[in-house]
Amino acid sequence: MAGPIETDDAGRVVLGVVRSASDNTWRERLSAGEALTAMTIAQRSGVPDVLARVMAARGVLPEQADDFLEPSLKTLMPDPSSLVGMDAAVQRVADAVVDKTRVAIFGDYDVDGATSSALLAKYLRWMGLDPLIHIPDRIIEGYGPNGPALESLKEAGAELLVTVDCGSTSFEAFETAKSLGLDVVVIDHHQVGEELPEVAALVNPNRQDDLSGQGHLAAVGVTFLFVVGLNRELRNRGVFEGRPQPDLMTLLDLVALGTVCDVVPLKGLNRAYVTRGLAVMHRRLNPGLASLCDVARVSGKPAAYHLGFLLGPRINAGGRIGDAALGARLLTTEDGLEARAIAERLHQLNAERQAMEAEMLEEAGAQAAIAVDQFDPAVVMTGSQDWHPGIVGLIASRLKDAHRRPSFAIAYGPDGKGTGSGRSIPGVDLGRAVRKAVDLGLLVKGGGHAMAAGMTVEQSKVEELVAYFNETLGAEVEAAAAKRDLRIDAALTASGATLELMNLLEKAGPYGAGHSEPVFVFPAHRIAFADVVGNGHIRCSIASPDGTSLKGISFKAEDKPHGQMLLANRGRNLHVAGSLSIDTWQGTPKVQIRVLDVADPQKVRI
């Protein structure tokens, strides 16, 4: 059952937890105004209070509630022509379809790039074309189009190049394309300046002259809009006379996967994409995705969590340490045997990536601990000549979580240059600081956005770079680090964590970036069981005073304070905070809690 949340007048603290095991203060997510909104939503729409609270805390207004619970592509999808450059792009590719021109697709090496490439390739195959797909090697080629790759595609017969999830700043590469006689269409979503390369068409809702309001879309979301526009143009040209039109909705599983894995806000059109895409994925229409779900042991209805934490990392593993093209090949194949073979290869690569990550993280963690203890830097900087550059972003993310400050991991080459990746914390714009460091000559190159950045740095410049970050970001990091809050949606007991509740919560999902998963507290529940399983995970079971038990999992928590508290308090009562999910075992769905934090009821104010 849902219960009230205790607050104090000053800070709206939940259950009096000022300091949890993870040094968080637990605070009610709802503001006073949002609590009134939740009451109005419950009264007007007839939804249960707990669902109304979740909706109101995520910015849903009473008049939006009904549409929010049934997100519709029909009402949320804009006219593709509202994006600058879309009509020109559609016309050029439609000409290619009609003329049977050989098209080459150039995508990025991450999940957004793989899904964008696969989506466009599948549509062009439906239209009778046999498009080439090129995904660059992260280490050898780097990000975006490059001259040698374009020359190879031209030699293979390509006359039109379509870049997806890249290309908005590829000035030099597109000069090469021009000299080769390759027309270029760009479909992208990355931030760009005023100057753009000269191409046949450039579609990017984040270009400065685009007023469509679709800048929150992942590249695969923009690519889907392009395909919708292309399909409309081909219909207007009479291409479908006497033949059925392609069912574009069956491509939404790819859109959902790329959208979740690119960590764009799950609001508006993105939320509709993922909601509808998850339903398509459940039908297992794509042989590659079906095989990937099988090897990742995703059973039952897929959720955004499965896409972000189980499927996405396996596709990314190809781009990080293996063949970057594996993901796009998996997602485009219609051969079940090939799909299974590629899925198993990606699964194997992901296991190898995890082993490499664990080894790198041990060294990086030691470097970071020494730096934090001795110098307390604003930004953690680690590096080694023995690290794989495809994994440094994952290491940076782990360090950021461990030390609650922006963190970099750098893989140095024999020439003394390092490929680094950084991750930030809310309130600290790391991308801006990196771009400024390039202007100051501290970096060879670099860029990114507020929460993540990449850079190339001379090893001899690192000490000066650390000093620059301390000066530039010190105040922001200090202010951001002081906000150690875990936001709570409602209080529950184990008996209240039911499948019926999960069905309600699903209506307000899917959850992800910009639309956070609900977090519930379970007050004074007995830790009936807790033990370490797998790679440092903790399996547990919590029991409410009436004896109802709820199984739980806390990922990679063995060496974390909340995990250690779980293990040390078997048989005792703890306040437990976490998110709920459905675990399907042998066809039977059961609710479980993903434990995020715990607190000792006797020591919450220390």
CATH number for the segment(s) 2-26+489-599: 2.40.50.460
User: Does the pLDDT at position 492 exceed 90?
Assistant: yes
Which long-range contacts does 524-527 make (Cβ < 8 Å, 24+ apart)?
Answer: 524/573, 524/574, 524/575, 524/601, 525/493, 525/494, 525/550, 525/573, 525/574, 525/575, 525/576, 526/571, 526/572, 526/573, 527/566, 527/569, 527/570, 527/571, 527/572, 527/573, 527/574
Query: d(Cα 33, Cα 199) in Å, to the nearest integer?
Result: 50
User: Does the pLDDT at position 166 exceed 60?
Assistant: yes
Q: What was the pLDDT predicted at 143?
A: 83
Alpha-carbon distances of 59 from 34, 265, 484, 489, 542, rounded to whole Å: 8, 13, 22, 13, 32
User: Does the pLDDT at position 606 exceed 80?
Assistant: no
Residue 416 CB neighbour total at 10 angstroms: 12
HEC states along 91-134?
Answer: HHHHHHHHHCCCEEEEECCCHHHHHHHHHHHHHHHHCCCCCEEE
Read off the pLDDT of each residue in 530-542 and give the average, rounded to a whole number: 94
What the block records as the tokens of 136 is 């660059």
Query: d(Cα 400, Cα 396) in Å, to the nearest integer?
Result: 6
Q: What was the pLDDT predicted at 301?
A: 86
Residues 434-472 have pLDDT tens digits of 989 999 999 998 887 788 888 999 999 999 999 999 999
User: Does the pLDDT at position 242 exceed 50?
Assistant: yes
Is the four-CA dihedral 143, 126, 253, 233 of positive or negative sign?
Answer: positive
Contact yes or no for 30/53 (Cβ under 8 A)? yes
Contact yes or no for 342/330 (Cβ under 8 A)? yes
Q: Which fold has domain 376-481?
A: Diaminopimelate Epimerase; Chain A, domain 1 (3.10.310)
* Residue for token pair 């009134």: 36
Query: d(Cα 187, Cα 164) in Å, to the nearest integer?
Result: 5
**Would 2-26+489-599 and 76-347 be classified into the same CATH topology?**
no
The DSSP annotation for 421-451 comes to EEE--TT--HHHHHHHHHHTTS-SEEEE-SS
User: Does the pLDDT at position 532 exceed 50?
Assistant: yes
Read off the pLDDT of each residue in 184-195 and give the average, rounded to a whole number: 92
Q: What was the pLDDT predicted at 605?
A: 63
Backbone φ and ψ of 382, nearest 5°: -130, 160
Tell me what percent of the residues of the chain surpass a pLDDT of 70.
98
- Biggest CA-to-CA distance, the chain: 76
Q: What was the pLDDT predicted at 145?
A: 95
Alpha-carbon distances of 492 from 12, 319, 497, 572, 576, rounded to whole Å: 17, 42, 7, 18, 10
Read off the pLDDT of each residue in 296-313 and give the average, rounded to a whole number: 91
Q: For residue 10, what pLDDT band results from cuts at 50, 70 and 90?
A: very low
Looking at domain 76-347, its CATH class is: alpha beta
> Which helix H or strand E contains 89, and what residues bound it?
helix 86-99
Backbone φ and ψ of 459, nearest 5°: -60, -30
What the block records as the tokens of 162 is 């379509």
Residues 336-382 have pLDDT tens digits of 999 999 999 999 999 999 999 999 999 999 999 999 999 999 999 99
Query: d(Cα 23, Cα 476) in Å, to the nearest integer?
Result: 20
Contact yes or no for 6/16 (Cβ under 8 A)? yes
Q: What was the pLDDT predicted at 558?
A: 94
Residue predicted with more confidence, 512 or 256: 256
The DSSP annotation for 351-411 comes to HHHHHHHHHHHHHHHHHHHHHHHHH--SSEEEEETTS-TTTHHHHHHHHHHHHTS-EEEEE
Average pLDDT of the chain? 93
Tell me what percent of the residues of the chain surpass a pLDDT of 90.
83
Q: Enumerate the domain spans of the chain.
A: 2-26+489-599, 76-347, 376-481
Rg of the chain taking only CA atoms, in angstroms:
25
In DSSP terms, which residues pair with 412 in a beta bridge? 418
